[in-house]
């Protein structure tokens, strides 16, 4: 009987200690999907507010991207373009976003989406134009837990 009580006591202590150990749990894909959607919505708001520095934050320094008709570009290229475009006070840019699908698998995610860019010349009525840009973004979870775009492919309809 003494052995049974000792074994039972050790079992209780073992169970309690297991509760203190760190658990290797995978983040549910729904949580990751919400984080990615939020990052894209934040980017849209930052872009539309003219905040190029914040807009650059969605992209990983390892970014590579293809936009139909242009050579492959990288992080430096897109951030330069964002600063140049959003710093041009003679034009007004506004993006809207349609997310069609978010697929998450571990540390990577793929997003099918459509961007609509409205451009107009400041002070010139009737100068607005809209482009529709379907594309696919590949995100990677960063060491800090954020999701950043590492690759994207887009084209203008």
Return the CATH number at 33. Answer: 3.10.450.50
pLDDT in tens, 98-148: 999 999 999 999 999 999 999 999 989 888 999 999 999 999 999 999 999
For residue 55, pLDDT over 50 is answered with yes
Flag whether the pTM goes above 0.75: yes
pLDDT in tens, 66-80: 998 889 999 999 999
- Report the alpha-carbon angle 56-58-62, nearest 5: 85
Q: State residue 27's pLDDT score.
A: 58
The region that residue 155 occupies, defined by phi over 0 for left and psi between -120 and 50 for alpha, beta otherwise, is: beta
Site of tokens 């006070």: 89
In a domain, 6, yes or no: no
Mean pLDDT of the chain: 87
Q: State residue 88's pLDDT score.
A: 95
Structural domain containing residue 46: 27-154
Question: Exposure of 46 by Cβ count < 10 A (0-12 exposed, 13-18 middle, 19+ buried)?
Answer: buried
């Amino acid at each position: 009987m003494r052995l049974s009580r000792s074994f039972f006591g050790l079992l209780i202590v073992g169970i309690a200690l297991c509760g203190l150990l760190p658990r290797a749990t995978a983040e549910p894909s729904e949580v990751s999907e919400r984080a990615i959607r939020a990052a894209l919505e934040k980017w849209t708001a930052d872009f539309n507010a003219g905040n190029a520095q914040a807009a650059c934050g969605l992209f990983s320094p390892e970014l590579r991207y293809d936009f139909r008709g242009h050579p492959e570009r990288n992080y430096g290229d897109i951030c330069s373009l964002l600063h140049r475009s959003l710093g041009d006070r003679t034009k007004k840019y506004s993006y809207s976003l349609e997310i069609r699908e978010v697929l998450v698998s571990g540390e990577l995610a793929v997003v099918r989406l459509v961007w609509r860019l409205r451009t107009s010349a400041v002070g010139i009525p009737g100068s607005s134009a809209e482009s529709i840009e379907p594309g696919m973004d590949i995100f990677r979870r960063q060491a800090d837990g954020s999701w950043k775009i590492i690759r994207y492919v887009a084209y203008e309809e």
